[in-house]
Amino acid sequence: MPVGRAMKIHFDWRLSRVVDDQDNIVDEIVWDGPMSPSGLAKRLLKIQQGRKLPEVITLAERFPDAEIDPLGSLSDPNWPKAEESDELFRRATLTLAKMGVAESSGDMDRRLDMLVSATLEARSSWTTSESRCIEWVGFFITEADLDSQRGEIPSAISSSQSIVEASEKLGVNPPKHLPSDSEWSSMVSHALAVTSSSDILEQLEVSIREMATLHVPSLSALLGPISAAKLVSLARGRERLARMPSGSLQVLGAHAAMAAHRRGAPPPKHGSVLFSMPQVNRSPRWVRGKIARYLAGKASIAVRVDHFDGETWGKSQIDEINGEIEAIKAKFPKPPKR
Amino acid sequence: MANKAKSIVWGVRREGRTLWTRNAVKGISVRGERRKRDGRIEWRRWDPTKSKVAAALLRTSAEPSSLLPDPGSTCLYLGASSGGTVSHIHDFVCGADNHHCGQVVAVEISPRMVRDLVTLSDRRVGLVPVLGDARKPAQVAAFIRGKANWIHQDLSIADQAETFVKMATTFLSPGGIGLLSLKAASERSSEGDDNSRFQKAEQILRNSELVLLERIDLTGLEEQHVVFSCASSL
């Protein structure tokens, strides 16, 4: 077998070739597999992922000194054109792009992000509708207690035939002025929307809990699945969260304050997801910063454990961390002197 | 068509302050742009506020045709998004049923955008949608039929200029044209203003093997953006 110097293997989906330094063809293999779009799509995917085609492997075995060109045939000026297979190639690229798009729904990060974003939007519209519903009902049923009975009001309206019946359900006197029939119907529909969006929110949170516990089990154990999911979504993916310094993780969610901080304002305090953890915001204010920093460090480790296939944290690790937080609080029982 | 209409290259016209490409798929607008008939030809408006290539054509002080590929060229478009600009490039590089035998490879990393790109490519022969990372030559090489005569990079990532130098030196054929759309807001540095970021990118291009031809300021059409036009050395 001739051992030429600086031999190279050039290839595309159709043809693989060994050429020497004078651009002479030393050996070649033409692909003779089935000429179907899906078959070709798989070959293109293989090349795109940097895996070797079978013909390239064969040629590399025949010429162990030959160097495989990672860019296929791009640098080969004598590469033959294959216009007869243009249509096949075209259909294969369309198939491959569609396969890639279909594949993307397997991405847990994006699925979690859909749930988290849907929850955020649903919650903001729920808050608006719910407070309008309460104001509206309170406007007529003046004796209802809008604080203690707040939770019952939407369902009391949506399940009643008339406003008088609704006031009975709430245990108070009927209103002095009654809404018109169509006005009442509007109130009922509005109240129905409020109760059904409460159900939607509940369902969404159930799914987030389920998915976050699977996707980021250690982080979910540490911060709770909802906050864990929010962090993954804010970081735009588990991998990005895992590669993030804990200082960045600590302020995730406080974009506006962080941007202001970069321009000279004091650092963010309340906006971040981590701050909303009871371990932080229920602690005395003079230890909050210390706890937040400590917890961010631990959360950062937890997500790395989850992403890089470590051993998932159990109750003992979490208890240890919570114990440490108590120790921090115990160490600083009094506010610092000014 | 009015008398003042000027042809830039085959299939691209300038009429006063508007640009038009010869629609390769008659009767269909890609993103709601105006169409008009001129005999048997249909022209499609190329909006310079939505396409940085169109904006560069209007703002360049060089001959506009020097920024565009010829019909029948091999083109590489990095960061194709949903394919607005790509469709206009395809209009004149490939034409209806690709009678110019051109190839436009459109690379995009977001599956959401590739979905639209696939729909577009379905009707446009010669347009190749690629779901992949436009920063990695090996992810693109399998789809392009040879070295490219024309490259446009429009990515919102940090290190746009370095990526462009890497991709253009790999893929551009001798005498080929490379356009880099630079978005100031995508660069990582938190210090300095937009202009200093453009300067930095310009320096990177000057220190590369590429020949920097012009820095085209798009102010008024696309804020915080410039387009660098380059040629491959040789």
The residue of chain B nearest to residue A12, with distances taken between CA atoms, is B142
pLDDT digits (tens, 9 = 90+) for B172-184: 999 999 999 998 8
**pTM of the shown model:** 0.84
Minimal C-alpha gap between B166 and chain A (Å): 13
Q: What is the pLDDT of residue A320?
A: 95
Q: What is the pLDDT of residue A108?
A: 94
A71–B117 CB contact, under 8 Å: no
Q: Which of the four pLDDT bands, split at 50, 70 and 90, describes residue A34?
A: confident
For every residue of chain B, DSSP letters joined together read --TT-EEEETTEEEETTEEEEE-SSTT--SSS--EEEETTEEEEEE-TTT-HHHHHHHH-SS-GGGGSPPTT-EEEEES-TTSHHHHHHHHHHT-GGGTT--EEEEEE--HHHHHHHHHHHHHSTTEEEEES-TT-HHHHGGG-SSSEEEEEE---SSSHHHHHHHHHHHHEEEEEEEEEEEEGGGS---SS-HHHHHHHHHHHHHTSSSEEEEEEE-TTTSTTEEEEEEE---
B170–A74 CB contact, under 8 Å: yes
Q: Which of the four pLDDT bands, split at 50, 70 and 90, describes residue A181?
A: very high
User: What pLDDT tens digit does each residue of chain B (234 aa) get?
Assistant: 445 788 999 999 999 889 999 999 999 999 999 999 999 999 999 999 999 999 999 999 999 999 999 999 999 999 999 899 999 999 999 999 999 999 999 999 999 999 999 999 999 999 999 999 999 999 999 999 999 999 999 998 888 999 999 999 999 999 999 999 998 887 766 567 888 889 999 999 999 999 999 999 999 999 889 999 999 986
A4 pLDDT above the threshold of 50? no
A104–B111 CB contact, under 8 Å: yes
Q: What is the pLDDT of residue A5?
A: 63
The ipTM assigned to this model is: 0.92
A48–B132 CB contact, under 8 Å: yes
Q: How many beta-carbon pairs under 8 angstroms link A with B? A: 62
Pairing verdict, β A67-68 and A8-11: parallel
Q: What is the pLDDT of residue B234?
A: 64
Q: Which of the four pLDDT bands, split at 50, 70 and 90, describes residue A256?
A: confident
Q: What is the pLDDT of residue A267?
A: 86
Contact A136, A166 (CB under 8 A): no
Average confidence score pLDDT of chain B:
92
A71 touches chain B (CB under 8 A): yes
Of A152, A120, A114, A148, residue with least CA distance to A133: A152
